[in-house]
Amino acid sequence: MDKIDIGAPRAGDRRDRFFARSIGTRFEAKTEGGGTIIDLYDEIGYWGTNARSFRSRLKEANGDITLRINSPGGDVFDGIAIYNDLLAYEGKVKVEVVGLAASIASIIAMAGDEITIADNAMFMIHNAWTIGVGNRHDFADVSSTLSKIDDALARTYAARTTTGIRAIKQMMDDETWLTAKEAKDAGFATSVGSAADAKAKFDLSVFASVPDALKWSEETGEETPTKRDLERALTQDAGWSRSKARAAMRVIENNDDPAKQDAGEHVDLTALAEAVRAVSAKFQKEDK
């Protein structure tokens, strides 16, 4: 497999959240049986798991890595960096797609020496996107950059699979969603595993051809939000900075209720409201 080499955006460029709603997201690493298991159940990029966070976990990893993926994708440059860092890892990398590997998350999956996809999981590839403002010359430059990115991604898929690059590019043009069997038959996975219970769910409405089984419903969104969900709500909906939102989360974490000590546990909304009031008062005082 080849390392992907694409010019990244300038330092300080804004990274926006692609997926407006999600539940059960997490990014964790743990040592087990002489190796390291990494759960990447998150959007890729600023609002989820970025390349810097992933690299820090890799530096702490011991032995071979099992990377479990359930991700809708996200920022292409963060995803490319994660893919390249996995290629550079000295140990063996086994990828398990346990729910969804879509968009740039499917490129990350290509870094595995072995790639297993759960029988009920899905795999999706498509062309790179962006949002731009400018004149026709600016958009011509943007189009050229997107073309280069698409070519690099297509070459990566083609080198790892049994599918030719022309067919890959057509699949990317069509936004192709693959079942586990289809992904294995096309060479995107080396084996199909047993069905898995997806630990995270995402609103995938930004995509054009989402299968009905993966579409977000109101019932999906009825689950009680986690601390991660609430932190995102504060930054996205309330307009708080990340440091301000995390200060609110720390107030909750200092609560005596042990059920609130784990970032994956559900949070009492009353406690959140009290935390928001406390942190708001603190920042208002500091602003004066």
State the catalytic residues. 103, 126
Nearest partner of 84 among 152, 29, 180, judged by Cα:
152
182 Cβ contact partners less than 8 Å away, ≥ 6 residues apart: 123
3-state SS assignment for residue 83: helix
The two beta strands, 176-179 and 201-202, are unpaired
Nearest partner of 203 among 187, 186, 223, 181, judged by Cα:
223
E strands, the chain, where?
A: 22-23, 26-32, 35-41, 65-71, 93-102, 114-118, 122-125, 176-179, 191-193, 201-202
3-state SS assignment for residue 186: coil
Structure token pair of residue 117:
């996809």
Whole-angstrom distance, CA of residue 22 vs CA of residue 202: 4
